[in-house]
């Protein structure tokens, strides 16, 4: 086999794999978009490319007085933005402390972070339910935010710590010689240099409330406090109104804020994903 034939074969295999992955990723998306444009409510008989397509489901979501979709959207955006900002701030503080300071329990704290990553949050659901009930945050968006922020610290702090470890300590020492304090070094030197990894943390924590169903299902009770994942589930869970087309319309709109945030942070994401967790 000649070198040219070998290269052609390799390219053919690569493009074939890309084509298969493209179909796997976009086929469900096309079906969801097609379902949302079908005027009916049943999953059976719906087409990926409807002949008489309509925006009636989108109109119902936003303008029908029986719809709580706008309220669910507001709740989810509030939880997502608050969780993203709070998680990024606390994670960066914890990671900076473990990266730059030596204190009693530091080594075991890092081991604890690794250990906590091995257990899913689902294992602690009963304890979290009792905790939120005791402090009066059950059926509250703030209770949901508290769990999201606390649960994001172990994994993300270890990731950001690895990034902070790659920043030369000479920068800290030079700043101290010039009279900079700990917080000034953190906010004016470390955070600007850590923008790539912090963008990754912010994006992942922003996406979590849009995708999570189990935790809101346990914490939230009132329909006016539902997030999108929990509210949309009711469209297909009702015994007498399995409205899959309306569910598809609501699901398609979930991608809008995530896509916008991704476009805003995309210049930081690639370098952040490849630079984090390089050192322990």
At 231-274, the pLDDT tens digits run 888 877 765 466 788 888 888 888 889 888 888 887 776 655 55
What would the pLDDT profile of 169-189 be if each residue is shown by its tens digit?
888 888 888 888 888 888 888
pLDDT at 114 over 70: yes
Confidence at 2, pLDDT banded by 50, 70, 90? confident
Phi, psi of 92 (to 5 degrees): -65, -40
Tokens standing for residue 244: 């899959």
What would the mean pLDDT of 220-237 be, rounded to a whole number?
87
Per-residue pLDDT band for 140 (boundaries 50, 70, 90) equals very high
pLDDT of 210 above 80: yes
Helices (H) and strands (E) in the chain, counts: 13, 0
What is the CA angle 18-20-24, rounded to 5?
115
Token duo for residue 171: 């920068």
Cα Dmax for the chain: 73
Q: Check residues 52 and 95 and name the one with the higher pLDDT.
A: 95
Q: Which two tokens stand for residue 14?
A: 């690569």
What is the average pLDDT value for the chain, to the nearest integer? 84
Give pTM, 2 decimals: 0.83
Angle at 195 between CA 190 and CA 197, to 5 degrees: 100
For the chain, first and last CA: distance in Å? Answer: 45
Structure confidence at residue 205 (pLDDT)? 93
Q: Is the pLDDT of residue 275 over 70?
A: no
Question: What percentage of the chain exceeds 70 in pLDDT?
Answer: 91
Q: Which residues contact 117 (CB under 8 A, 6 or more apart)?
A: 154, 155, 158
Residue 20 pLDDT: 92
What pLDDT score does 279 carry?
42
Please state the rounded mean pLDDT for residues 126-150.
91
Q: What's the confidence (pLDDT) of residue 238?
A: 65
- CATH number for the 68-275 domain, one of 1.10.3720.10, 3.30.429.10, 1.20.1050.10, 3.90.1150.10? 1.10.3720.10
Rounded to an integer, what distance in angstroms lies between the CA atom of residue 75 and that of residue 130? 23
């Amino acid at each position: 086999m000649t070198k040219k034939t070998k290269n052609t074969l390799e390219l053919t295999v690569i493009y074939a794999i890309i084509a298969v992955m493209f179909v796997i990723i976009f086929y469900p998306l096309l079906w969801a978009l097609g379902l949302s444009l079908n005027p009916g409510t049943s999953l059976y008989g719906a087409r990926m490319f409807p002949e008489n397509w309509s925006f009636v489901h989108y109109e119902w979501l936003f303008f029908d007085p029986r719809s709580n979709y706008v309220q669910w959207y507001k709740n989810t955006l509030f939880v997502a933005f608050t969780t993203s900002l709070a998680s990024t701030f606390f994670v960066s503080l914890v990671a900076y402390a473990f990266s730059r300071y030596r204190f009693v329990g530091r080594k075991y704290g890092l081991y604890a972070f690794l250990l906590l990553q091995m257990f899913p949050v689902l294992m602690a659901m009963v304890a979290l339910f009792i905790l939120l009930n005791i402090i009066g945050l059950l059926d509250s968006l703030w209770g949901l935010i508290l769990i999201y922020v606390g649960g994001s610290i172990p994994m993300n702090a270890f990731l950001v710590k690895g990034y902070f470890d790659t920043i030369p300590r000479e920068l800290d020492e030079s700043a101290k010689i010039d009279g900079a304090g700990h917080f000034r070094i953190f906010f004016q030197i470390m955070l600007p240099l850590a923008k790539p990894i912090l963008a990754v943390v912010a994006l992942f924590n922003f996406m979590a409330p849009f995708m999570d169903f189990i935790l809101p299902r346990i914490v939230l009770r009132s329909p006016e406090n539902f997030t999108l994942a929990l509210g949309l589930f009711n469209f297909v869970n009702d015994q007498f109104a399995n409205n899959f087309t309306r569910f598809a319309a609501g699901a398609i709109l979930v991608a809008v804020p995530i896509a916008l945030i991704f476009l805003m942070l995309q210049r930081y994401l690639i370098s952040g994903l490849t630079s984090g967790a390089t050192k322990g």
